[in-house]
Each structure stands twice: as structure tokens, then as C-alpha cells.
A and B are shown apart, each in its own frame.
Chain A
Amino acid sequence: MPEPHRSPARSALGPLVLIAAIVGAGAAAFAYTAGWLSPERLTPSKLVDALTPPSGPPLGHRRNHAKGICFTGLFEANGAGAALSRAQVFSQGQYPVLGRFNLGTPDPNAADAMERVRGLGLRIATPDGQEWRSAMIDLPFFPVATPQGFYELLVASGSKEPDAMKNFAAAHPEIAAFGAWAKSAPWTASYAEERFNSLNSFVFTDGSDAEHVVRWSLLPAAAPVDVAPEDLAKRGADFLNQDITERVAAGPQRWTMTVTVANPGDPTADPSKAWPADRRTIEVGTLVVQKIEAEADGPCRDINFDPTVLPAGIKTSDDPFPAARSAAYSISYNRRTAEAASYPRTTPGAKP
């Protein structure tokens, strides 16, 4: 045992410098880990900030896909998916669903006819207590190959520099396919006629622990009817919400869920590249939308459709987007819940 020793004569300078150095190094390591020493690091906050429209952030709303409408219904699994994943959601049966149709815009008051990207958020719950959340869009592939590319796209499209988009396209040639799709793909007048795609790849693990890299889609039962964009522009700003409300009131709307399995060598980490059409695809069940509710006081309002909330039997792949989306959705969720007072929490004219 060292004897208690108190000799003020002993020089404390050396030990004090050492202590300061140790504490300083700890603080510096922490600051580095927090990203404070690397301003070039793409943080979730920067990504979400880049979504802010010139008019300011949509207080109390999702930072993207801000305009939406809630639905509830069922997922009817036919059992075929059990060959790919041991998640209970693929065992034959019916599982409750909460979801949201939405537009790919940070403007909660956008006119429906103006938005090219339509989305669907989904949460399927199973009796084993697990959840599968997914946020899908109607594009056949994502506009950019990486989260960094997405950030640069947001910065370029918000930039006042005349060459910003041209320079972006030169650095990210994959954006050309999105441009071609946006120009040529038909428009429909209904969420019920849209196909929604996961775009990101995920890994399914089956009962024998074999892994399959997959993407999934929801294929509409309603036949798509092409409508010219100029005709859509003549409709009311909320025609999509009105249409889906009327359709579902008249009867449940259905989508077939298909799961497509990658071949070895397919680009699983790059959602800007569609897989060839001949890949093995199996129908795993049907999404049945039974009830529509306005978002303002609807059950989807406070749900974060984080695509990394997955049941055992589904996990993320080498696709970098689900992680980036999860990080950004979390920031968006934190901001909008903190701003709840700014959100009109009841539907105009609805129950008090």
C-alpha cells in the first residue's frame, strides 16, 4: 500500500500536464467521433437540411414525402414467401397493416398533379411481436447510386448556380435514367393504379439459414389508366387523396406483393440499377387497403416508416441507402415531433 503522502514541495507540474493531456485527448476523440472536427462529413442533419425548400422547413411535417394520407388494412400472406424468409409475415395468414400514401415532396401543400414521385409507407405487424416497416416509391430505380450522390442532387437542385445541375449530371451520369423515366413514364390519376417498389435490396434468411438478396414491389390490382399531365393539372390540388378515399370507401383496394431474387453478380448495392426482368420473382401475398383516414388525426401521422425496422428473417444488405434513410428519417421524426404544435392536428371540418 502506498503511504498517504502530501508533500507540497513535490512538483505537481508534470502530473498536472499529464492529466490535462489525457482529459484533452479524451475530449478531442469525442469531438472527432461527433463529427465536429470533420465538417465535410455527411451527417443525417445535413442530409435533412438539404431537403428544406426555399420557403422553409414544413414545421411539424415529415421533411420529405410531407403530403400524405393514412390507410389501414391487411397483408394476406399466401405462404410462398416462407421459401425465402423465415419472418412470420410470410407464413400464410392475415396480418394488420398501417400505411400511408404520399408524395415525394417536402411541401405538405403541394398540388398532386405536380409531383412525379408517389410513395407508400407500410408497417405490417405479426403476432410474434415483430414489425416490418417499408417505405416504397413508384420509380423503377432510384435517381442516384449513393447517399452522398443524393445529398449532392439536393444541393444542386436547390442551387442558384446556373451550371449546378449540369455539373451534377456530369458527376452522376446515372441521373440520366431518372430524367428519361420522368419524361416518358405515364401518369395515372390514382394511388390505386401505382406500382410501388422497395428499390433498395435487403437480405432474406430462410428456415435453413440460406440468404437471398431481394427487392420487393407492390403491383396494383387496378389497371393503370394513363392520364395526360395537363389533364391532371386541371384537377383539384388533392385529387389523389380524394380518389383513394372514394375508391376505398367503395371497396378494398389491392396490391400483389412480389419478391425478386438477385442473381449472383447483380448490383445489390446500387438502387439506381434495376435488375434484369427475368430474375426469379415470387408472389408472396396481397396488400388489402380497407380504410382511409386523413393524416391530420390518422394513425400513420406519428409513425416513422423507417425501412430498417425489420423482423427476424429480413436484414439490410450491402445497399448503403437503408442506413442513410434510417438516420435521416430519425432526424426528420425528431424535428417534426418537437414541432407538433405547428401541425394542424385535426382535419378541417372533421370531428373535434
Chain B
Amino acid sequence: MTGTHRRFTPLQRLLHWLMAAAILAMLFIGVGMVSTVTPKYLALVSLHKPLGIAILVLALIRLALRLSHGAPALPADLPEPMKLAAVLSHWALYALMIGMPLLGWGMLSAASYPVVLAGGIHLPSILPPSDRLHTLLWDAHYFLAFAFFALILLHVAAALFHALVRRDGVFEAMAPTPTRDEAAPAE
């Protein structure tokens, strides 16, 4: 899972920052749309669905890249609890990136709502109509959204801690800027 290279590949970094923007937007759209009755509600709902599917697709691509390319090794002197937290939180983030869109799609299916993306594209129903499933999936989608946001705040705090306090190269591994060693990748 870990490589000898010091940075994620440019494609991995591009996906990371693209998805960072998409997921943050998604969480704000979600929490905003359930709190308003103004016409913004419909605009936000109609953004939420295609953006969610886009995140699902990007997350699957990213997972494949992570499994094939791995990640830079964490600093050897990072305390074990922090290493463990880093590994667990990253897999939790992957689980949420992939799980949240599936939960949303599933709950709409269980509620017999048509799942319409931009441009009138219809997604098939992935679950049979069911009150019980809808309630379960809706609750999971709702509460995991808050957990997702909390985890992102933790992730941001940890990244900044690496960048500003420890200055150990962990942040640079995912930094959006190209560096000189890009021309000759470590692997």
C-alpha cells in the first residue's frame, strides 16, 4: 500500500483536489437544502444528485489508482497512534466517498422517487420500494454526512499540522503544486 515515492502521482493529486472541492460543495449543498423552503431548495437538490454520482465515479477511479499506485510512506518518526489514525481515517474517507452516493441513490430508489440527473438522464432504481429500507438509508445518509464533515475537518487539521507544525513532507505529498522532482518521478 505504501511506496517509496515521496508524492502522490499528479493524477492522484488532481483527483484529490477536484474531489475536495466537490465533496465540500456537496456537504454544504446537502445541509443547506434540507434547511430551506425557498426555490433554492430545488436548485440545490438538482445539483446534489448529479454531483453525488460524479463523486461516486471519481472515487472509484481514485480507489483504483490508490490500489495500483499506492501512497507515499508516512514519516518513519510519526508516532504509531498518528500512523494508525492516518490509515483508518483515509479508509473511512474512501468508504464515505463511495458509500454516501450509494446510500443516496438507494434511498431514492426505496422511496420510488425517480433518480434524475442533469439533462434528463435517469438512473435505474437499485432497490425495491420499501419504507423500512428508505428510513434506514435516509438516516444513514443524514448522520454519516455529519460524520463525513467532521472527518474532513479532522483531515484538514491533520494536513495543516503536518504542513505547519511538523513540516514532515506529508502535506507536500498531496500538495496541488507541481515540484521539480515531477519530471523524474521517484519510482
Contacts and interface: CB of A to CB of B under 8 A. Distances in A.
Interface in A32-65: 33-35, 41-44, 47
B164 interface: yes
A34 B35 contact: yes
Contacts of B77: 4, 6
B37 A328 contact: yes
B42 A326 contact: yes
Contacts of B34: 43-44, 327
Interface string A14-30: 01101100110011011
Given A19-B164, A23-B153, A130-B122, A333 B111 contact: yes
A130 B116 CA distance: 9
A19 B39 contact: no
Interface size class of A (residues with CB under 8 A): 35 or more
Contacts of A47: 37
Nearest to B142: A334
Given A1-B172, A43-B37, A33 B164 contact: no
Nearest to A147: B37
B91 interface: no
Contacts of B120: 130, 312
Contacts of A4: 75, 77, 167-169
Interface string A321-338: 011101110000110011
Contact of A15 (B132, B156, B164, B168): B164
Nearest to B139: A338
B134 A309 contact: no
A324 B75 contact: no
Interface string B120-160: 10100000010110110011000000000100110011001
A293 interface: no
A119 B167 CA distance: 66
A4 B163 CA distance: 10
Q: Which 5 A-B pairs have the closest CB atoms?
A: A35-B35, A15-B164, A324-B37, A337-B131, A340-B131
Interface of A: 1-2, 4-6, 12, 15-16, 18-19, 22-23, 26-27, 29-30, 33-35, 41-44, 47, 129-131, 147, 302-304, 306, 308-309, 312, 316, 318, 320, 322-324, 326-328, 333-334, 337-338, 340
8 contacts: A1-B172, A6-B77, A27-B153, A29-B28, A44-B34, A129-B114, A333-B111, A334-B135
